[in-house]
Amino acid sequence: FLRGTATPLPLVTESKQSAPTAPAETRKQSSLVTIFVLWNTMVGTSLLAMPWGVERAGLAMGLVLAIFMGALCCYTAYCNVATQAAYGPAGGEISELARHMLGPRVEFLSKLFSYIVLLGALIVYWILMSNFLYFIVDYIYTATTGGFKDIDFNVAGSEICLINGMKSNITSDLQPSMFKQAWNLKTVPIYLIVLLGPLLSFKSATFFTKFNSLGTMSLVYLILFVVVKAWSWGVNLDMTNPASVHYSEWVEPSFFATSGTLAMSYYMHNIIITVMRSNKNQKNNVIIITFDTLS
Strand partners, 29: 279
The answer to whether the CB of 41 falls within 8 A of the CB of 266 is: no
11 lies in some domain: no
pLDDT of residue 38: 83
2 lies in some domain: no
% pLDDT > 90, the chain: 5
195 lies in some domain: no
Q: How far is CA 257 from CA 34, 221, 251, in A?
A: 30, 27, 13
pLDDT confidence band for 181 (50 / 70 / 90):
confident
pLDDT confidence band for 159 (50 / 70 / 90):
low
pLDDT, mean of residues 118-138: 86
Cα angle vertex 119, ends 78, 128, to 5°? 100
pLDDT, mean of residues 213-221: 75
pLDDT of residue 113: 86
pLDDT confidence band for 164 (50 / 70 / 90):
low
189 lies in some domain: no
Dump pLDDT digits (tens) for 2-53: 444 445 555 444 444 444 444 444 446 788 888 888 887 777 667 778 888 8
Domain that holds residue 79: 29-131+202-294
pLDDT of residue 108: 92
Would you say residue 267 has pLDDT above 50?
A: yes
9 lies in some domain: no
Average pLDDT, the chain: 77
Residue in 287, 267, 270 with CA at minimum distance from that of residue 69: 267
CA distance linking residue 43 with residue 266, whole number of Å: 7
pLDDT of residue 21: 45
pLDDT of residue 165: 52
pLDDT of residue 2: 43
Which residues neighbour 67 within 8 Å (Cβ) at sequence distance 6 or greater?
Answer: none
One-letter amino acid of 112: L
Residue in 43, 42, 41, 65 with CA at minimum distance from that of residue 53: 65
Q: Provide the domain count of the chain.
A: 1
The pTM of the full predicted model, rounded to 2 decimals, is: 0.66
Q: How far is CA 264 from CA 44, 49, 116, 156, in A?
A: 11, 11, 11, 55
184 lies in some domain: no
Q: Which of 69-83, 161-175, 188-202, 216-230 has the highest mean pLDDT?
A: 69-83
136 lies in some domain: no
The answer to whether the CB of 38 falls within 8 A of the CB of 268 is: yes
pLDDT of residue 155: 54
Would you say residue 290 has pLDDT above 60?
A: yes
113 lies in some domain: yes
